[in-house]
């Protein structure tokens, strides 16, 4: 039937305009480019970087991180307007951009020419740390502003950033910076009222809820708030200094400029203009051939059908979000690609009184906005299905994916975990397909999906449109989805449900009911048995029971099902059914169709929240710091690289200008976890055009390496001991050729037995044993006697606990660039935290002196420990061909390879026994720790040592015995990660502390408090608590959080809600600062003063986003009495400062700040006579001082040196002082869980962190927030899955979670709704430079508060279900662990929680 209301009708195809250039073109930042031929396989990202636009980053290659975000603009001829959208350049095909204007971050602003308001807002809000993700955030925000006709709301801003990941900042400063563009924001988010409001709240010690948005309270050394004179002042506050803005940065309301029309002459000078040629240009069919693939772009339906008939195997591509991933990661070959994006019939959107019809090429963003528009226009009765689709799309991928992905592509991909296909089935949608010869036919959605990623489409057919019926009165549709992460994540289980009711005598009867489920089978399935069983039944409790009994028959699942989580997935399906039951009852009553429908259905008020949709307000919070007056140290100075990071000008290792003749390398990696190499045949690879060589163990002069002990090989010579073990390296003209050739190297193995987890290692007695390095223990007091007394009194808890590993997920993948000089000297630029290790290992492998190897690092796009040792062996691999061929070699790892071979945080198993007093004082601890070290020792022994040091948590225990073993397994060697074993030791301490409290029936925070260390008490390894701020942090945190009243409120909430529960927890932090290998606690620095009064500093530390260079510059400036801007920090290089320790252990500011202080002391001593001769006034001009010193022939260069004093430790049973000092902190977190799905919402976190006298409060707050959010990921979200005995559906030894598609780090949607951070005031540290304290690692442990808040909520759910609350819950607390630990009658069908211990999900450990 003809459709009456056309919501969108595309312009019909037209001939080319007169004189139109037939060449395929695009514009980039206003410059016209003719597209190269034969590049159908090339992505927009590769093209842009080939143009030298390196601000667009390659973070993952699968559209999952947003680092490659750019804005693509095209002219919609039908609407007569320019459309702007953010896209992932890493997936977007180059030819898909024909006729468009691409804007990259370089097109907005530069440091020299001036920052764009979006760039300025982010930089000045301290929203850029490592900076690798920053251009992507800038472009996502910019695209949002350009695409909207009005200012966005705060929630629209958060949603626009949903496809962008940041591993450093914790997102809060990014959201705060961009909030200035929101519809309800003032011209400056830093108004005087905001500052005053924060100051008032700080003075009161609470009242944070009263803040309107985010605020800063900068307190001076006396604890007084610095506010503006007069509360009505409109002078904006500079976000960097907290002072009235003097440079105009706060006076420009960027949103006003961006809201102007495109042809506004004022705006035109700020915004890239859409090229007039593209407005006149009429899209024409494209057919661009090439050696790998041919690209077709038809502009008529007939042309599309003819192409499909001629090329039945052709892949249709709109967003390339599926095909692009298949080509890159699954090595699929598609010689013919057809883009149906310009076929008018496929982009049409129409609606009539019965249905909505969507062309197959309609983007998901258009679908979302269409649903929003029609919901408002048509009202709730007919749009129940549209609301369900709209809500489901809110959590579907990120905006960059939705902007290009099509309805038809989503349908025809036929993913078994599709978000939308279950809704098409439930809603009774029909798909219209068409071929050139047979014409059109219609297929019901429920009959369309035939098997795993297969459909009813014939080879010559295309999907033309989707017809979605509108709903009627008494007809309800509901969407459900549970994933590991709420935002931008694939589903674990997804569902669509629809019910239509007949109501007679106030009794609702099911007239129709239909279901669609994803994640429950190899395809999207309906549930015919359940539908038939429920049809005609009254909507009562008995019908619900029938549904819950019948659904498992429709959705059978074996325990070893691919994807695992069998019990959880089946529980989710039934939980969704219960939610739908409640939702329908609530709506029947609300719509006036059934009186008292809720009560008649056997429900009460406590059940209703089960059906609530998740809606999250924009986060808020406050940061309380102290700012010192009269010195550069203590000021919240902006990160020195922030402005070049927001403009994309900051260079990372893969961004530098490439040397002439550079070749690209790719590793040949083992595919088995343990095997003997029988043969390596590179013939096929070497025969590939463009390949220059293959190198293996025989080409390495000294093949044995290792960061701590020599137990590794550069390339495997005889045996491989993990999947991903390097066997060789291929060198070629391009990275694509090298990767393709690496897959052609044939390696034959004799497969050997593999050990894949801790349990197997313990059973096989498989440990790394190196005398002096491993098998350490610490003992204090008399554990046996104390434990025996506790056991006799029945006051012992005993058990085991596990915590999983964690991927570093630094946004910048591993990069190495190596070239050989004319005298067998090597220079390398790499992304590493430890240039000296690279120098040492390259020298050793090539048997050349260290003085001929120079390793340089300018900045890292994140490190977190992952680039300390594992980057070194990759650099050695690249050095081998560089040395032999005398050619520059570049080795850049793809994200999935980086994750698969470079190791992660260690998984741990802890077996403990704890004795305690009647009051809850811990009297004895006996614990054995095991870590999964992997196939080599790496740093696992030192990591275990730190776990032993921190196994007391923050608690005084008079009798302690802790031991540790490093398990030798056939997984890639695990390595350093922020906290270095400390987090694992501490979380185990909190686990048994939580159990002790629950055994005693006491509030957990009370038991934690009475066990906290007191000043002067001694740790189990002999170090005394000196200048302890532990209790000060704890007391302030619990006071600011008002924990008692909030616990009472949580209890009241839990009593009123059966299926949603809240939990709250407070946890302390005590973290030792120093390398536990004592020799590493040394540092050097060079300080050069120049005649213009500027200073150049070179030190051994690496800038990786933590602000080390900025802090060192502040320290140098303070020591020399100059401004911070006069100090420049040069790149880190082994030919400037030799033998530098890795930038790790949170000690770099202490070490290099002290070394620079020493150098400045020397300079000041030399300059003192000069200043005396010049007099007080002239001495204020450092330029004049330097010039006078130069003419007096005084050395203006100094080498500073520092060694950490008083450190004493040996693993010989004696006590000592392994740490320079301790950092302290405390956090209180509150969560709300959905006990039916396992979903977790972090409501609020209050942190108090001891940073001493902060060198830079802004940077320290950033480290606290970023460390906390990264820690929250570890304890509540991120889960590694390897093929092991618990995950038999994964290939043995293979990492399944390799990439952002399957491994989920926190997004902006996962941070606390209220996020308050206080840096403890008036707590100077006498043992570090400028009385400061380290801040890199300690905040990570604050996230334990999130884990135990989740457990508190789980225990509330278990109590409500009549279950025991003394349970062991392993980390991370994923939705599976949360849901199944809650128990209850729905999940009891699949796991009997009543008669068995609490469910413990399988964990790679």
3-state secondary structure of 499: strand
1178 Cβ contact partners less than 8 Å away, ≥ 6 residues apart? 1184, 1185
pLDDT value at residue 197: 27
Cα–Cα distance for residue pair 191/1273, rounded to 1 Å: 33
Of 1019 and 216, the structure prediction assigns the larger pLDDT to: 1019
Q: Residue 952, Cβ neighbours under 10 Å: how many?
A: 25
Give the helix/strand (H/E) hosting 677: strand 675-681
Residue 544 scores a pLDDT above 50: yes
1134 Cβ contact partners less than 8 Å away, ≥ 6 residues apart? 835, 836, 838, 839, 853, 854, 855, 856, 1140
Give the helix/strand (H/E) hosting 1006: helix 1004-1011
Q: Residue 72: what are its φ and ψ, rounded to 5°?
A: -115, 130
pLDDT value at residue 267: 37
The pLDDT tens digits of the residues spanning 675-701 come to 999 999 999 999 999 999 999 999 999
Is the distance from CB of 1201 to CB of 1009 less than 8 angstroms? no
pLDDT category of residue 193 using cuts at 50, 70 and 90: very low
DSSP state of 1255: S
Burial 973-991 (b: 16+ CB within 10 A, else e): bbbbbbbbbbbbbbbbbbb
Cα–Cα distance for residue pair 477/583, rounded to 1 Å: 10
The rounded radius of gyration (Å) of the Cα atoms in the chain is 31
Q: Give me the percent of the chain exceeding a pLDDT of 70.
A: 93
Stretch 1033-1037: mean pLDDT = 98
Q: Give me the percent of the chain exceeding a pLDDT of 90.
A: 89
pLDDT value at residue 270: 60
Largest Cα–Cα separation, the chain: 106
Cα–Cα distance for residue pair 102/30, rounded to 1 Å: 8
Tokens of 364: 């998901």
Please count the residues of the chain.
Answer: 1405
Region of residue 657 (left: phi > 0; alpha: psi -120 to 50; beta: else): beta
Kind of pairing between the strands at 69-76 and 81-88: antiparallel
Which of 982, 1074, 977, 1066 shows the shortest CA–CA distance to 1023? 1074
> Does 779 participate in catalysis according to the annotation?
no
pLDDT value at residue 122: 98
Residue 62 scores a pLDDT above 80: yes
Predicted TM-score (pTM) of the model is 0.94
Stretch 60-80: mean pLDDT = 96
pLDDT category of residue 519 using cuts at 50, 70 and 90: very high
The pLDDT tens digits of the residues spanning 204-246 come to 333 222 222 333 333 333 333 332 222 333 444 333 333 343 4
Cα–Cα distance for residue pair 155/87, rounded to 1 Å: 20
pLDDT category of residue 185 using cuts at 50, 70 and 90: confident
Residue 872 scores a pLDDT above 90: yes
pLDDT category of residue 186 using cuts at 50, 70 and 90: low
User: Highest mean pLDDT range out of 260-274, 482-496, 1060-1074?
Assistant: 1060-1074
DSSP letters for 1041-1094? HTHHHHHHHHHHHHHH-SSEEEEEEEEEEEEEES-SSGGG-EEEEEEEE-TTS-
Residue with token string 């992905």: 405
- Chain-centroid distance, C-alpha 1040: 29
Q: CA–CA distance from 168 to each of 3, 118, 294, 635 (Å)? A: 51, 19, 41, 21
Positive or negative CA dihedral for 1378, 1380, 1381, 1387? positive
Residue 73 scores a pLDDT above 80: yes
pLDDT category of residue 6 using cuts at 50, 70 and 90: low
Cα–Cα distance for residue pair 285/461, rounded to 1 Å: 20
Of 821 and 678, the structure prediction assigns the larger pLDDT to: 678
pLDDT value at residue 260: 35
pLDDT value at residue 213: 32
545-548-549 Cα angle (round to 5): 85
Cα–Cα distance for residue pair 950/734, rounded to 1 Å: 48
Residue with token string 């159908």: 40
1372 prior amide bond cis, ω within 30: yes
Stretch 52-64: mean pLDDT = 96
The pLDDT tens digits of the residues spanning 1186-1238 come to 999 999 999 999 999 999 999 999 999 999 999 999 999 999 999 999 999 99
Tokens of 994: 């939580």
Tokens of 134: 């920053």
pLDDT value at residue 252: 34
Q: How far apart are the first and last CA of the chain?
A: 60
Region of residue 213 (left: phi > 0; alpha: psi -120 to 50; beta: else): left
572 Cβ contact partners less than 8 Å away, ≥ 6 residues apart? 482, 492, 493, 1237, 1379
Q: What is the mean pLDDT of the chain?
A: 92
pLDDT value at residue 14: 74
Q: CA–CA distance from 639 to each of 20, 531, 629, 1261, 1329 (Å)? A: 48, 60, 19, 13, 19
Give the helix/strand (H/E) hosting 1377: helix 1375-1382
496 Cβ contact partners less than 8 Å away, ≥ 6 residues apart? 388, 392, 422, 423, 424, 425, 426, 427, 477, 478, 479, 480, 515, 516
Residue of 434, 1232, 1337, 1376 marked active site: 1337
Tokens of 194: 């905001």
pLDDT value at residue 226: 31
Q: CA–CA distance from 848 to each of 818, 839, 844, 1263 (Å)? A: 15, 10, 7, 40
1005 Cβ contact partners less than 8 Å away, ≥ 6 residues apart? 1038, 1043, 1065, 1066
Q: CA–CA distance from 853 to each of 1195, 1342, 1349 (Å)? A: 29, 41, 51
Is the distance from CB of 971 to CB of 901 less than 8 angstroms? no
Burial 447-457 (b: 16+ CB within 10 A, else e): ebbeeeeebeb
Which of 349, 302, 297, 336 shows the shortest CA–CA distance to 318? 297
Q: Residue 629, Cβ neighbours under 10 Å: how many?
A: 10
pLDDT value at residue 72: 98
Kind of pairing between the strands at 704-705 and 712-713: antiparallel
3-state secondary structure of 321: coil
Cα–Cα distance for residue pair 826/289, rounded to 1 Å: 42
Which of 978, 1218, 1198, 1255 shows the shortest CA–CA distance to 1081? 1218
Which of 186, 71, 189, 72 shows the shortest CA–CA distance to 138? 71
Give the helix/strand (H/E) hosting 1273: helix 1257-1276
Cα–Cα distance for residue pair 758/768, rounded to 1 Å: 12
Residue 1091 scores a pLDDT above 70: yes
Residue 714 scores a pLDDT above 90: yes
Stretch 636-648: mean pLDDT = 97
1147-1149-1152 Cα angle (round to 5): 100
The pLDDT tens digits of the residues spanning 420-471 come to 999 999 999 999 999 999 999 999 999 999 999 999 999 999 999 999 999 9
Cα–Cα distance for residue pair 908/1110, rounded to 1 Å: 36
pLDDT value at residue 616: 87
pLDDT value at residue 629: 84
Crossing angle (nearest 10°) for helices 1004-1011 and 982-1000: 120
Positive or negative CA dihedral for 770, 774, 778, 784? negative
Tokens of 1007: 């038991």
Please, which residues bridge with residue 925 across strands? Answer: 914, 960
Tokens of 1104: 């990786």
pLDDT value at residue 244: 43
Cα–Cα distance for residue pair 897/329, rounded to 1 Å: 10
């Amino acid at each position: 039937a003809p459709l009456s209301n056309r919501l969108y009708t595309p312009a019909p195809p037209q001939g080319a305009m007169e004189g139109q250039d037939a060449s395929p073109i695009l514009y980039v930042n206003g410059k016209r480019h003719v597209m190269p031929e034969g590049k159908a396989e090339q992505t927009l990202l590769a093209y842009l970087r080939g143009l030298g636009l390196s601000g667009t980053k390659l973070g993952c290659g699968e559209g999952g991180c947003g680092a490659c975000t750019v804005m693509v603009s095209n002219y919609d001829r039908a609407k007569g307007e320019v459309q702007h959208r953010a896209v992932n350049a890493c997936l977007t095909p180059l030819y898909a951009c024909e006729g468009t204007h691409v804007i990259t971050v370089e097109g907005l602003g530069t440091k020299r020419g001036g920052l764009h308001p979006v760039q300025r807002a982010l930089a000045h809000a301290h929203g850029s740390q490592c900076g690798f993700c920053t251009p992507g955030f800038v472009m996502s925000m910019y695209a949002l502003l350009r695409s909207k006709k009005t200012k966005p709301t705060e929630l629209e801003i958060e949603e626009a950033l949903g496809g962008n990941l940041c591993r450093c900042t914790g997102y809060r400063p990014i959201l705060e910076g961009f909030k200035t563009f929101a519809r309800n924001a003032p011209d400056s988010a830093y108004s005087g009222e905001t500052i005053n409001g924060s100051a008032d709240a700080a003075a009161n010690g609470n009242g944070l809820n009263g803040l309107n948005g985010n605020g800063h309270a900068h307190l001076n050394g006396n604890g007084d708030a610095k506010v503006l004179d007069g509360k009505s002042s409109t002078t904006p506050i500079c976000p960097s200094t907290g002072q009235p803005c003097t440079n105009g940065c706060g006076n420009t309301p960027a949103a006003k400029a961006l809201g102007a029309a495109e042809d506004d002459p004022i705006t035109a000078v700020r915004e890239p203009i859409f090229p007039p040629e593209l407005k006149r240009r009429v899209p024409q069919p494209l057919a661009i051939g090439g050696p790998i693939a041919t690209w077709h772009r038809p502009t008529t339906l007939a042309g599309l059908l003819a192409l499909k008939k001629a090329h039945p195997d052709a892949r249709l591509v709109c967003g390339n979000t599926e095909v692009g991933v298949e080509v890159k990661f699954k090595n699929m070959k598609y010689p013919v690609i057809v883009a149906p994006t310009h076929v008018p019939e496929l982009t049409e959107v129409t609606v009539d009184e019965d249905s909505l019809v969507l062309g197959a090429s309609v983007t998901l963003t258009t679908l979302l906005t269409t649903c929003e528009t029609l919901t408002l226009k048509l009202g709730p009765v007919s749009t129940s299905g549209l609301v369900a689709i709209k809500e489901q799309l809110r959590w579907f991928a990120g905006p960059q994916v939705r902007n290009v992905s099509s309805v038809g592509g989503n349908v025809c991909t036929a993913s078994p975990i599709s978000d939308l296909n279950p809704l098409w089935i439930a809603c009774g949608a029909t798909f219209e397909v068409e071929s050139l010869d047979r014409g059109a036919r219609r297929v019901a959605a429920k009959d369309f999906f035939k098997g795993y990623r297969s459909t009813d489409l014939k080879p010559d057919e295309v999907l033309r449109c989707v017809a979605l019926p509108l709903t009627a009165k008494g007809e309800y549709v509901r969407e459900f989805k549970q994933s590991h992460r709420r935002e931008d994540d694939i589903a674990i289980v997804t569902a669509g449900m629809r019910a239509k009711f007949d109501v007679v005598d106030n009794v609702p009867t099911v007239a129709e009911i239909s279901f669609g489920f994803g994640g429950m089978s190899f395809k999207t399935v309906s549930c015919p048995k359940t539908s038939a069983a429920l049809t005609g039944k009254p909507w009562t409790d008995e019908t619900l029971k029938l549904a819950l009994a019948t659904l498992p028959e429709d959705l059978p699942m074996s325990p070893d099902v691919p994807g695992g989580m069998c019990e959880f997935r089946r529980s989710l399906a039934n939980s969704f059914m219960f939610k739908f039951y409640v939702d329908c009852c609530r709506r029947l009553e609300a719509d006036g169709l059934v009186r008292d429908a809720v009560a008649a259905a056997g429900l009460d008020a406590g059940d209703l929240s089960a059906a609530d949709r998740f809606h999250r307000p924009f986060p808020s919070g406050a940061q309380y710091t102290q700012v010192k007056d009269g010195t550069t140290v203590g000021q919240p100075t902006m990160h020195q690289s922030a402005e070049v990071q927001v403009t994309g000008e900051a260079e990372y290792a893969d961004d530098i200008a490439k040397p002439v003749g550079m070749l690209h390398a790719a590793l040949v990696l083992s595919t088995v976890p343990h095997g003997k190499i029988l043969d390596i045949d590179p013939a096929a690879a070497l025969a590939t055009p463009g390949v220059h060589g293959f190198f293996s163990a025989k080409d390495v002069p000294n093949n044995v390496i290792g960061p701590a002990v020599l137990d590794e090989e550069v390339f495997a010579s005889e045996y491989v001991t993990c999947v991903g073990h390097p066997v060789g390296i291929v060198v070629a003209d391009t990275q694509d050729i090298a990767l393709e050739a690496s897959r052609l190297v044939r390696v034959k193995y004799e497969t050997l037995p593999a050990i894949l987890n801790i349990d197997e290692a313990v059973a096989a007695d498989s440990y790394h044993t190196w005398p002096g390095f491993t098998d350490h223990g610490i003992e204090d007091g008399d554990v046996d006697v104390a434990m025996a007394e506790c056991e006799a009194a029945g006051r012992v808890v005993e058990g085991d606990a596990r915590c999983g590993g964690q991927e570093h997920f630094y946004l910048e993948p591993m990069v190495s660039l190596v070239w050989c000089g004319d005298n067998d000297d090597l220079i390398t630029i790499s992304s590493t935290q430890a240039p000296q290790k690279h120098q040492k290992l390259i020298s050793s492998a090539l048997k050349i002196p260290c003085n001929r190897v120079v390793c340089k690092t300018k900045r890292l796009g994140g490190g977190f420990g992952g680039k300390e040792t594992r980057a070194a062996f990759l650099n050695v691999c690249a050095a081998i061909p560089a040395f032999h061929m005398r050619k520059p070699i570049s080795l850049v790892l793809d994200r999935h390879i980086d994750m698969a071979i470079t190791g992660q945080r260690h998984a741990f198993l802890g077996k403990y026994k704890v004795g305690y007093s009647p009051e809850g004082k811990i009297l004895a601890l006996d614990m054995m720790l095991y870590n999964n070290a992997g196939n080599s020792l790496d740093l696992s022994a030192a990591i275990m040592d730190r776990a032993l040091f921190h196994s007391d948590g923050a608690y005084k225990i008079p009798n302690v015995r802790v031991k540790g073993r490093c398990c030798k397994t056939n997984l890639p060697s695990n390595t350093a990660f922020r906290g270095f074993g400390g987090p694992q030791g501490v979380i185990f301490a909190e686990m048994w502390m939580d159990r002790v409290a629950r055994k005693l029936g006491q509030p957990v925070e009370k038991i934690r408090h009475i066990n906290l260390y007191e000043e002067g008490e001694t740790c189990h390894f002999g170090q005394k608590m000196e200048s302890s701020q532990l209790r000060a942090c704890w007391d302030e945190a619990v006071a600011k959080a008002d924990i008692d009243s909030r616990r009472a409120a949580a209890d009241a909430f839990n009593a009123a809600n059966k299926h949603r529960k809240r939990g709250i927890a407070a946890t302390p932090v005590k973290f030792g600062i120093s390398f536990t290998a004592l020799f590493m606690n040394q540092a050097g620095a060079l300080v050069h003063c120049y005649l213009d009064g500027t200073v150049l500093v070179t030190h051994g530390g690496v800038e990786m986003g933590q602000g080390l260079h900025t802090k060192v510059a502040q320290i140098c400036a303070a020591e020399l009495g100059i401004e911070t801007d006069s100090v420049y920090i040069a790149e880190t290089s082994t030919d400037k400062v030799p033998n530098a320790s890795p930038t790790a252990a949170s000690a770099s500011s202490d070490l290099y700040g002290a070394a620079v202080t020493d150098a400045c002391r020397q300079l000041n001593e030399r300059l003192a006579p000069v200043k005396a001769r010049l007099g007080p006034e002239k001495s204020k001009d450092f330029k004049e001082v330097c010039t006078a010193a130069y003419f007096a022939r005084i050395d203006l260069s100094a080498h500073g040196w520092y060694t950490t004093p008083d450190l004493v430790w040996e693993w010989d049973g004696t006590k000592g002082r392994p740490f320079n000092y301790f950092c302290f902190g405390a956090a209180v977190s509150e969560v709300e869980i959905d006990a039916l799905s396992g979903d977790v919402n972090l409501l609020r976190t209050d942190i108090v962190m001891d940073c001493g006298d902060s060198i830079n409060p802004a940077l320290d707050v950033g480290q606290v927030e970023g460390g906390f959010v990264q820690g929250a990921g570890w304890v509540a979200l991120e889960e590694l899955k390897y093929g092991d005995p618990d995950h038999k559906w994964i290939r043995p030894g293979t990492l399944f979670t390799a990439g952002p598609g399957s491994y989920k780090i926190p997004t902006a949607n996962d941070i606390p709704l209220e996020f308050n951070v206080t840096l403890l005031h008036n707590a100077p540290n006498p043992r570090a430079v400028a009385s400061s304290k380290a801040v890199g690692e300690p905040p990570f442990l604050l996230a334990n508060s999130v884990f135990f808040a989740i457990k508190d909520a789980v225990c509330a759910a278990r109590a409500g279900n009549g279950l025991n609350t003394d349970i062991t819950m392993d980390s991370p607390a994923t939705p599976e662990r949360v849901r199944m630990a809650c128990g209850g009658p729905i999940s009891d069908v699949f796991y009997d929680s009543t008669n068995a211990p609490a469910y413990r999900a399988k964990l790679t450990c």
